[in-house]
């Protein structure tokens, strides 16, 4: 099957639940996990005479997303009714936005292995309400309307993605941005971050898009990748065998790894959009837009700063995966006596190494870290000042993350200070050389790699506490270099 002769064209529509305490048009709770149909009222049940009232927080969060993603924020947008009939949609329509959404354009930036950022365009971001949930049992299907009216933003991407891997990395980057903004919890399992993928294929070298298929409500990165890869192969095989791809919506069967037809795909006119008569146009002033604040650093900005300072892309991605790590990284740098490349790399290594190990084994908690950035920076100062070795530094950091004790006190209590006294080191050097006359002759004859042998022997005598830099100098001096 010559999949290589075809090019996939992929566009993603991401539904992100906003972190409000109440629903978009009423005061019902949005908390997850409540018993079915306990977080409902006349508005989200669509009882006759009930009217929607817009939640201001929803608008602010949509503005925040738009600003972070470089969208144009519309000062006037309009809500619309999207008409379709489904058991979990009590009104028979969904309040959404169509012709005049709140955000237009924008870009999702995705970190690349070489440390650069690649941008993928957005079409729009609009506000809408979620539907309820159908629960299918053996004997019957039931409807839980707790989710009905939960506030969402739908982020519609341009069809610029060309592989399942690109789509997955795009989603990870977008999710991370929304989490940084504090407007979405990024929980794929609970459905608060989910996506529909529009997938088509075309022969390489052609400009016209193929017929697209929508893959609906996929809620894990692994399934997204599998669903897109299967759909690409299915469409290519269909075309190569003389068939045609149908415009349809398909579901992904993750147990069998295949997509299955769900229904023919609706076009926009099938939904009979028209302006929502119960809500006035949404007017957003320039002052309101300007008042919405963004974090000091978004993930793509932090990644660029880290990569530009020589931090490997893998470490940079590890750090930006949690906004708290980014804050800690820059706070530690600010606490160093001077910000140098050595200090940046040491700080990154510490967060990706010793701190990650402490978090994994449960001796540290990032939400309640026992030490301060200044204490972490003090360990670096002790190392660069020659008080402790790099090996001892890792021991100090492990204790610091576990207990929050002062680094100097840890060094004293554990006896980790290096021996740097010249007189004491010279005595050990003389003893090592006296015990190794053969190696001394070989060294003087040109076998300079024996220096490591001598320093290792001295460190053994000093139980690992000798200052290796000073030992190197003394050995070279004694050996005539």
Q: What pLDDT band is residue 219 in, cutting at 50, 70 and 90?
A: confident
Among the three residues 382, 414, 446, which one is the final residue of a domain in this structure?
414
Q: Which of 71-75, 153-157, 403-407, 446-450 is predicted with the least confidence, judged by mean pLDDT? A: 446-450
Does 185 lie in the same domain as 72? Answer: yes
- Structural domain ending residue among the three candidates 237, 267, 291: 291
Domains held by the chain: number: 3
Instruction: Give the other-Cβ count within 10 Å of 446's Cβ.
Output: 8
Looking at the fold, whether 10 and 72 belong to one and the same domain comes out as: yes
State the pLDDT at residue 459.
76
Asked whether the predicted pLDDT for residue 456 surpasses 90, the reply is: no
280 and 173 assigned to the same domain: yes
Please give the backbone phi and psi of residue 76, each rounded to the nearest 5 degrees, phi first: -135, 120
In whole angstroms, what is the distance from residue 88 CA to residue 143 CA?
6
Mean pLDDT of all residues in 33-54: 96
Residue 452 domain boundaries: 422-478
| Interval 315-333 mean pLDDT | 96
According to the model, what pLDDT value does residue 138 have? 82
pLDDT of 406 higher than 70: yes
Residue (of 428, 403, 438) closest to 478 by Cα position? 428
Q: Which of 53-57, 100-104, 442-446 has the lowest mean pLDDT?
A: 442-446
CATH number of the structural domain spanning residue 453: 1.10.10.410
In which band, very low, low, confident or very high, does the pLDDT at 449 lie, cut at 50, 70 and 90?
A: confident
Same domain, 256 and 277: yes
Nearest to 262 by CA among 312, 216, 211, 200: 216
pLDDT digits (tens, 9 = 90+) for 60-83: 999 999 999 999 999 999 999 999
Q: Let me know how long the chain is.
A: 481
Q: For residues 366 and 432, state if they share a domain.
A: no
Identify the top-confidence range among 91-105, 209-223, 419-433: 91-105
Vertex 109: Cα angle to 305 and 179 (nearest 5): 85
| CB within 8 Å of 120: residues ≥ 6 apart | 107, 108, 109, 110, 157, 158, 160, 161, 166, 170
Lookup: tokens for 382: 């002790």
How far is 128 from 15, CA to CA, in rounded Å?
9
pLDDT at position 424: 67
Reported as a pLDDT band with limits 50, 70 and 90, residue 452 is confident
> Chain-wide mean pLDDT for the chain?
91
φ, ψ dihedrals at 282, nearest 5°? -85, 115
Say yes or no: 243 and 286 in one domain: yes
Q: Which of 240, 275, 291 corresponds to the end of one domain?
A: 291
More confident residue, 134 or 69: 69
At residue 464, the pLDDT reads 67
Q: 177 with 205, same domain?
A: yes
What is the band of 266 on the pLDDT scale with cuts at 50, 70, 90?
A: low
* C-alpha 172, offset from chain centre: 5
Question: Is there a single domain that holds both residue 336 and residue 256?
Answer: no
The predicted-structure confidence for 149-170, as pLDDT tens digits, reads as follows 999 999 999 999 999 999 999 9
Q: 404 is written with which tokens?
A: 């929050």
Q: Do 345 and 249 reside in the same domain of the chain?
A: no
Supply angle C-alpha 158, 162, 164, rounded to 5.
Answer: 105
- Give yes or no for residue 419 having a pLDDT over 80: no
pLDDT band at 477 (very low <50, low <70, confident <90, very high): confident
pLDDT-derived band at 1, boundaries 50, 70, 90: very low
Please tell me whether residues 223 and 303 are part of one structural domain.
no
Is residue 406 located within the same domain as residue 452? Answer: no
> Tokens 């790590």 map to which residue?
325
Q: How confident is the model at residue 244 (pLDDT cuts 50, 70, 90)?
A: very high
pLDDT at residue 114 greater than cutoff 70? yes
In the chain, what percentage of residues exceed pLDDT 90? 74
Residue among 346, 355, 357, 359 nearest 311 (CA):
346
Overall average pLDDT of the 260-277 stretch: 81
Name the band, by pLDDT with cuts 50, 70 and 90, for residue 351: very high
Q: Among residues of the chain, what percentage have pLDDT more than 70?
A: 97
Residues 23 and 87 in one domain: yes
Q: What pTM value is reported for the model?
A: 0.86
């Amino acid at each position: 099957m010559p999949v290589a002769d075809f090019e996939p064209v992929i566009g993603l529509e991401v539904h992100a639940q906003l972190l409000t305490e109440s629903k978009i048009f009423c005061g019902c709770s949005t908390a997850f996990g409540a018993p079915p149909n306990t977080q409902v009222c006349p508005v989200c049940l669509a009882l006759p005479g009930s009217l929607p009232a817009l939640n201001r927080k929803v608008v602010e969060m949509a503005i925040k997303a738009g600003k972070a993603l470089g969208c144009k924020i519309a000062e006037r947008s309009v809500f619309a009714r999207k008409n379709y009939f489904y058991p979990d949609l009590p009104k028979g329509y969904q309040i959404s936005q169509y012709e005049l959404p709140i955000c237009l354009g924008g870009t999702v930036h995705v970190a690349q292995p070489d440390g650069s950022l690649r941008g993928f365009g957005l079409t729009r971001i609009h506000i809408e309400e979620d539907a309820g949930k159908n629960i299918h049992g053996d004997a019957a299907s039931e409807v839980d309307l707790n989710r009905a009216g939960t506030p969402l933003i739908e982020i519609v991407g341009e069809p610029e993605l060309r592989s399942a891997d690109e789509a997955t990395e795009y989603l990870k980057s977008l999710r991370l941005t929304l989490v940084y903004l504090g407007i979405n919890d990024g929980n794929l399992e609970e459905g608060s971050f989910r996506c529909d993928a529009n997938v088509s294929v075309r022969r390489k070298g052609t400009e016209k898009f193929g017929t697209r298929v929508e893959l609906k409500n996929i809620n894990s990165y692994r399934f997204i990748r599998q669903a897109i890869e299967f759909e690409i192969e299915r469409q290519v095989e269909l075309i190569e065998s003389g068939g045609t791809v149908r415009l349809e919506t398909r579901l992904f069967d993750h147990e069998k790894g295949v997509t299955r037809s769900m229904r023919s795909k609706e076009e926009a006119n099938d939904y009979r959009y028209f302006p929502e008569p119960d809500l006035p146009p949404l007017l957003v002033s320039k002052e309101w837009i300007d008042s919405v604040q963004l974090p000091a650093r978004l993930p793509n900005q932090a990644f660029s700063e880290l990569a530009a300072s020589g931090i490997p892309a893998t470490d940079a991605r590890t750090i930006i995966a949690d906004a708290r790590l980014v804050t800690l990284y820059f706070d530690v740098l600010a606490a160093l006596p001077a910000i140098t490349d050595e200090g940046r790399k040491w700080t990154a290594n510490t967060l990706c190494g010793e701190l990650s190990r402490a978090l994994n084994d449960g001796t540290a908690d990032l939400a309640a870290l026992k030490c301060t950035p200044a204490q972490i920076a003090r360990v670096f100062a002790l190392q660069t000042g020659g008080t402790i070795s790099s090996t001892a530094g890792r021991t100090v950091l492990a204790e610091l993350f576990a207990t929050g004790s002062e680094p100097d006190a840890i060094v004293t209590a554990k006896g980790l200070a290096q021996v740097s006294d010249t007189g004491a080191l010279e005595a050990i050097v003389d003893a090592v050389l006296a015990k190794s006359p053969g190696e001394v002759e070989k060294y003087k004859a040109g076998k300079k790699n024996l220096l490591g042998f001598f320093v290792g022997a001295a460190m053994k005598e000093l139980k690992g506490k000798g200052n290796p830099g000073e030992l190197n100098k003394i050995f070279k001096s004694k050996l005539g270099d």
